[in-house]
Structures are given as C-alpha cells and as structure tokens.
Structure 1
Amino acid sequence: MKRKILPASLLPLFALLALACSGKDPEPPPPPPDYLYDVEAQPFGKTYEQWAEAWFQWAFSIPKAENPILEGPCDQDQTGDVFFLVGNTGGQTTRACTVPSGKAIFFPIVNSIARTCPEYVAIDPSQMCETLTSETEIHDVATSFFEDYEVTATLEVDGNAITGLEDRRAHTATFDDPTSSQAEDIFGTPCSGPIRENSCGVPVDSTRIAAADGLWVMLKPLSAGDHEIRFTAKIVTAPDQAFELDVTYNLTITP
C-alpha cells in the first residue's frame, strides 16, 4: 500500500492533535526573567526614594558638556554597585553603553524635580517669595506631575514587557541641589545651582533645595553580553499638550 505523505503545513496541526489525544497538556511558556528588585527590598542598603535622590545628586553634578542626559558619555562618575542610566528631555533617543558585569542598573522611566527659586520674582513679579522659597511647595510641585496629570509608561528588557510600573513610584526627601554655578544652565532654567541675586532676601551663593518624584526601576545585574532596554513615558498636561520620551539603550555587559 502506498504511504500517504502529510503536507508540511499540516504537520504542526497533526502534532497538536496527537498531543491532545494523548491527554497531555502542552507545556506553558517559561515566565520572563526576574529582572527587577522589589521596591521594598532596599537594594544595596538604600530605599528606592534614597536611590532616586542619589541619582539626582549624580546626574545634576555632571557639567552640561559631559552630562549623559544631554548625550554625554554614559560612564561619567559611575562608582559602587549600581550603574545609573538616564532618560532625555523629550523625544526619541537611542544610545549605546557598556556596563561592567555585576552592576545593578537604576534609572527613571520618567521623573520630575522642583527647586526653590527666589530669582523667579524678577521674571514674574506676580510670584510670591514665600511660595518660591517654600520647602512644602517644592514637594507639592514635584508630586503634581504624577497626581494632577495622566501619566503612562512602558518598559521592555530584551523584548520582555515589565508591568506594574505604577507601583515603582518614589518621592525623595528634600535634598541640596548639586548643580554647580558653571553648569547652572544644564536644563535651561535659572532655578539651579547656588542661589543668585534675588529680591527675596535669600543670601547669594546659599544652597538651593530640591525635591523629586518619579517612576524608577532597579534592574538586577544582567548577564554578560548584549541587552536592550527600552522605556517610554507620556505626561498629558493639557488636551493639546504633553511631554513624551522614548529611550532605547543597547547595552553591552562586560564579562
């Protein structure tokens, strides 16, 4: 008797039917890798809030010409067990970066910072010194981006979507703005670096204070080789106005 040959297109279906007839369920796909430290874990002895403050202290102490946020080298002043990555000031960015093996990776998907700014009275006389120098006010302003507006965010690591990002929000304690006077225009704002001449009576060259909020992640050390991290965010501040970013990192983890 001549043997019938199954068309190649029917072989996967035949295999599934045979498996179903055998009474065995197909194996479920493996879960995605456990990329993230839990928010409550206090990795390397710091809470997420403390790591967020450490990130700002690092990022804002780097001069404008070398700052990774403004496309400077990603390895600027990287020390310790954690390697910091950055977002951008809006739009789409792709970067390549080499990270030493064994380093955790910490970065904001999207964040906000508010600082005291007595100098702003000269720009807008309707502003009040009490508001512009209030510690409570800067915390409220930093929070407002995540409380008053619609915020969406995504994160993928090696093509695996990470969910639950809303649970990774962290609000810092008050900290001193580390921006130097030479890098005071790092983000195009007069409200950075030491206090300058103002009509509110705040001493010139005194330390400016800040507070920050945001969605943050701490990745466990990645295996040696190539990896891709992509994160996006959108904050809708008005029906026809929004801040958006889309950042991709092509990482090489050294052996």
Structure 2
Amino acid sequence: MSILVENLSKTFGDFKALDHINLEIKAGGLIALVGGSGSGKSTLLRVIAGLESPDQGRVWLSGRDATTLSIQEREIGFVFQSYALFEHMTVYENIAFGLDARNVTSATIANRVKQILQLIQLEGFDWRYPGQLSGGQRQRVALARALAIEPKVLLLDEPFGALDSKVRKGLRNWLRRLHEQVPVTTVFVTHDEEEAMEIASEIVVLERGHIHHMGSPQDVYGHLSLQGRF
C-alpha cells in the first residue's frame, strides 16, 4: 500500500509538531523517519496511523483519502517501543488477539499463529507469558501480533529503543530479513541514524516539524557527513 502525506500540519498548544509536511512512500518500501526529540517523527507516524488527527492536510493510502478513517479501517499494524503486550496472556493469545477480535475461526487463528511463530523464529514459545521472555523476544512477539492481521502498512515507533545494543543489532538484521519475506509497506521511527542506515531502503530526516532531507541511505549519509554528524 502506498502512502501520500499532503500538506500535513499538527500543533500541540504553542508547539508546531508538523509544519506543512509533504511525503510520498511507495508500496512495499522500508522507510525510516529520523530526527531528534521534537522533530515531529513520532507525530507523523501517529497521524499516518490514525492515532492523531491533523490540524491541516490529508493522508492518502493507495489513492484513498484515509484522513478521517480509524486505525482499523486503515488496515495498519502499529508497534510501540514499550511492546504493549498483554502480560496476562500467553504468546499465542497475544498474537491471536487481533484475529479473535475480527471473529476469525479458531482453526484459521491456530494456523496463522503457527505460521507467524515460524516467521519470527519463536516456535515452541506458544504458551509462555511475556514475563518469561527476553526483551528481544518480547519485541518480536509485538511485531508478530501486528503482522498476524496481515496489515497493508506496518508502523514501528522506536521499536528497539528499550533494548541493549547487542540485542538491537541482532533485531536490526532480523527486521531487514523479515521485510524481504513479508514486503508490507513499513515505516519506522528512530533517533539512531546508524540504525536507519542499516535497515531502511529510504530515509526521511525531520527537523522542527519539517522534512530536512530524504533519500537513499548512501545519499543521506553523504548529506549528514557534510554537516559533521558522521
């Protein structure tokens, strides 16, 4: 699913989080939104998801005006930094949650959860609880829950921010391989420019609610190097 952000603005009190943003993301892309605190990257992600409403502008999904649609109507999977897993539910139940809410049959759910567990390399973890998993495993389950409903767009807000550097490194490689297997349009937010270089096919650099620069990792690396940021 392609994403078109048209003349998007969002203000919180006196703070302008987004200032007339225009951005086009092609279907199947793996895009990183990069920027410091207050740059607007998470706000942009939340507006695309339907978790925030813009003050001005529109969001188009595959040519359809989705500005006023709910997150469910947009067919979007969203993953937070904090995992947001249900601690009282097993891995199986967490992954099945979105499917169950859509009244999918038990047999279909069981088959889908099995496929997803294989995809995230956590076969045999079905009946463990989140508290019995490592941070990296918990984040993979959060991604699995988002993918289980077969979203048209996957949005990730600082997905590895709460993990240590070694685990983050492994999950970066894993996410890249996962996207090759399941090429759903994916947009992820990170403040880590090196992380974006390693994972994304295209990078959007935001500063103070504006798009400062965008391009391939090589192009953005050259741009940021000239600014002394690498």
- TM bracket (short chain): under 0.3
Q: Please identify which structure carries the higher helix content.
A: 2
Q: TM-score, normalised by structure 1?
A: 0.22
User: With structure 2 as the length reference, what TM-score do the two structures score?
Assistant: 0.24
- Greater Rg over alpha carbons, structure: 1
